[in-house]
Amino acid sequence: MTDEVDRLMAGIAGRKVRDLARAITLVENGGPDGLELLRRLAEQARSDADRPRSHVVGITGSPGVGKSTMTAALITAFRARGQSVAVVAVDPSSPFSGGALLGDRIRMQSHSSDENVFIRSMASRGHLGGLAAAAGHVLRVLDAAGFDVVVVETVGVGQSEVEVAAAADTTIVMLAPGMGDGIQAAKAGILEIGDLFVVNKADREGAQTTARDLRQMISLATSQQNATSQQNATAEADDSVAVWTPPVLTAIASTDTGIDDIVAAVADHRAWALDHGELDRRRLARAREEVVATAVGMVRSRIEDASSMSAFEDSVSAVAHGEADVHGVAEALVDETGSRAGS
């Protein structure tokens, strides 16, 4: 075990593709090797605390808005600026295949020969503790590899949008004209998680209308946030409650139109977040969520082990027949889990 972890640590530092892929698999699976690797990565981070951290850029939006095309265009733009890039493409069905979901990402493979680009798909299902824990572990590996930018792309279905936004330093919400995205974004609360909004496929009819509607909704939301912040702020804390106003940009990712503006907006948001302490707050919140999600996963694993016992099945049968209280059975299961962990 130690020999492999030693080899992987060296491979991560050298950005060797196979070693990065193996390391990510280990920390996703959460076995002894993965736990040892995470411990070693933490030790390395402590000894290298002054090293710049990777900037995590989340990309989300409804299916069909062009997220994969945008991701490929952003890779090119970041690389043109001399920045190394890693991409984590979150797939809700399979870590390696999944038909159209990963088929749409084939255009990213044009960067596969670039040693300063790493692309990995990650399944959101099957992780004890959920996406928050799994993504956090993967981001630690990529940060240790020294990538300047890590792009986390979600398929934009359900809770994954919010979870990916929570894992990001800067979140890009993508929309497209003619899909009712503007109003839907307001209804779904997506306005609250976006640091910048991009209306892609801007050559289509209705793009400018979608952008205008978004700007109006964001302006209203930002005004309300500012008013609330000022009410709660003290005189000396005024700077710390400044509210970022998310820009609304238009782009045509398939032709790289507007991509430079998006990269510039990401840099602007990063600078603002650094100046106002927002970056530290987000990373602290991310770490807190990762710890809680990991703990939940550990407890769930222990509960599943305990639930395989015949005594538990008898209790379940009693609940099913109305002969036992479900809360009492659950409490007994938790107590059994705790006693096993302490023994």
Q: What is the mean pLDDT of each run of 10 residues along the chain (343 residues)?
A: 88 94 90 92 88 92 87 95 92 48 59 88 57 78 96 70 78 84 60 90 92 88 67 52 87 96 98 95 88 82 74 87 89 76 60
* Contact between residue 289 and residue 319 where contact means Cβ atoms under 8 Å apart: no
Strands annotated E in 143-297: 149-154, 170-175, 196-199, 248-250
What is the token pair recorded at 297?
Answer: 């996963």
How far apart CA 244 and CA 229 sit, in angstroms, is 12
| Integer-rounded Cα radius of gyration of the chain | 22
How far apart CA 135 and CA 156 sit, in angstroms, is 15
* Residue 183, phi then psi, degrees to nearest 5: -70, -40
Calculate the alpha carbon distances from 29 to 22, 95, 111 in Å: 11, 12, 27
SS3 annotation, 285-316: HHHHHHHHHHHHHHHHHHHHHHCCCHHHHHHH
Q: Residue with structure tokens 């890009």?
A: 172
* Residue 196, phi then psi, degrees to nearest 5: -155, 150
The pTM of the full predicted model, rounded to 2 decimals, is 0.84
* Contact between residue 175 and residue 43 where contact means Cβ atoms under 8 Å apart: no
* Contact between residue 178 and residue 75 where contact means Cβ atoms under 8 Å apart: no
Q: What is the pLDDT of residue 157?
A: 52
How far apart CA 62 and CA 57 sit, in angstroms, is 17
Q: What is the pLDDT of residue 332?
A: 83
Q: What is the pLDDT of residue 96?
A: 45
* Contact between residue 166 and residue 285 where contact means Cβ atoms under 8 Å apart: yes
